[in-house]
Structure 1
Amino acid sequence: MGDNLVEVENLAKSFEIGKGQRVRAVDRVSFEIRRGETLGIVGESGCGKSTLGRTIVGLYPATTGRILFQGKDIARMDRREQREANRHMQLIFQDPQASLNPRLRVGDIIAEGIDSYGLAKGKEREERIYRLLELVGLHPSHAKRFPHEFSGGQRQRIGIARALAVEPSFIVADESISALDVSIQAQIVNLLADLQAERSITYLFIAHDLSIVKHISDRIGVMYLGQMMELAPSEELFATPLHPYTQALISAMPVSHPAQREEREQIVLTGEPPSPIHPPSGCPFRTRCPVAQGVCSEIAPDWKEVRHGHWIACHLVQ
């Protein structure tokens, strides 16, 4: 296993939508997440990145494939081992308002995991709640309030405190800043980075804003129609994107400097993403790819390492 905390091997997750039809939201995805790193996942809405994160932490059962945590296959763990693994794999949700129970006070929301795992009681439990609130930039007195009394950014801090309460080693941040104002987004991203430095937390950071993902991630994976198109170190991915889809995404990023705007050639993709119910044959991106060839419609590209640490699924890149 080496330094890998999480390993995903040919993971697939499909959902039945009636009349015998199934949507394969995640399709044969493989990668690893190293201890203490942040792996960013980007892609258009509906590409399967949130389903991927939720399947890894166990909210959805995998259809096929394996998820290894600390070198052990989660599906083969006994009940005690799975419960302990669940404690160390936490999720920060996209919508902080929808993910916080409006009937509970903030202190009890944060303490749900503490109570479930019997980590602290009485005065120790109370002090632990206060420390967590202070850790995420809130005041201990906020423990007595209800979620509706807070702003969106404050509610997301509460969600982070809840995730931290059970001392996880791995956190999936599922679009955890997309519902927040831009100024608040930066605060939450900086908070996550500080917590990682202090507690050696490993992140899977899911978002559609490439500039934020670039800022926080050590490596970045690009998804399209349930499949991983490219994965590489952050700086390398932005400097030399190899997959046509990655190139198009990066070309569409906003640029502040006028000279850079003139230098950059924007790649405009035609058409809409295909239906995940009836995905195209071969490469899923070929119907919108500006350089697609005959082989792209006939054979699905292999997931291959073309440079050290740089993976891609494309027939045209060797």
Structure 2
Amino acid sequence: MRDFAKPVVLNAAKLPDRTMEELDSAFELLRLPPEKEAAEALLRARGGEVRGMTLRKTIVDRAMLDALPALEIIASYSAGLENLDTAETAARGITVTNSSHILARDVANLATGLVLALTRDIPNADAFVRAGAWPGQPQYRLTRSVTAMTIGVLGLGAIGSALAERLAALGASVVYGGPRPKPVDLRYYADLREMAAASDLLVVTCPLLPETRGAISAEVLEALGPRGYLVNISRGRIVDEAALIDALARDAIAGAALDVFEREPEVPAALIEDRRVILTPHIGSGTEETRQAMADNVVDQLTAKLGVAPLVR
């Protein structure tokens, strides 16, 4: 039986059990089927009633928005919005929220860990001890000091800003790049190649947009140089993966740490086999506390926009 007193919300995200219970309690919740034909049938039958939508990876294009004429808000569980036609939602006056402000600290923490693991060669040092090589070689090779480095951060949003604070606390000199300068006491580079040339290590934290796709190009990697490092905790397609593999093969950069990949979960064998590369399976926001906070934010944004009493947790 339909509850006509509750706003209708379309769920297009895999969310924690507690969050699903909250959504079911606050709204008349429609679950978007994964099968295309079933999803289209649901939208034909009920799309006109939907006022809110949860989102993670589902593609929301103009055609889907046409099927949701009463839509007021899309609350994304993710930080990135590359699967959403944001120009069209803006034109239609649809509110769009995401979780970048919620997950920023944990993603920045992971990025900091990857920077340290990469520059201090921690995974290989661990393998060295486990292989029993230490007794025969008392001195492990010398590594690099973050304290002596200039680190370029591409994208000084919520994540980039949190990372810059952490890197500065470690003693690094932090610079940044992006579409425009911000009111911060850090050196700004409008040209990415210039920033790469000035940096010992480059960290990608910007969103995937048409203008950032492939931004870490062969030219940028060449500017970073044979002693330079790359860390990517944003989106895989911001890095030209073929150019990265080529640069590593030519010893044109010193190493990389990647949490995201161009065609994840597929990872090129060349990256897997290269011990100068640290690989993690897109775990930037992957802590119990942050994932639940991201889900709570979805519910809170929907209840606030659609006039439902806030939940008491």
TM-score, normalised to structure 2, is 0.29
Larger strand proportion of the pair: 1
Structure of greater relative contact order (alpha carbons < 8 Å, 6+ residues apart): 1
TM-score, normalised to structure 1, is 0.28
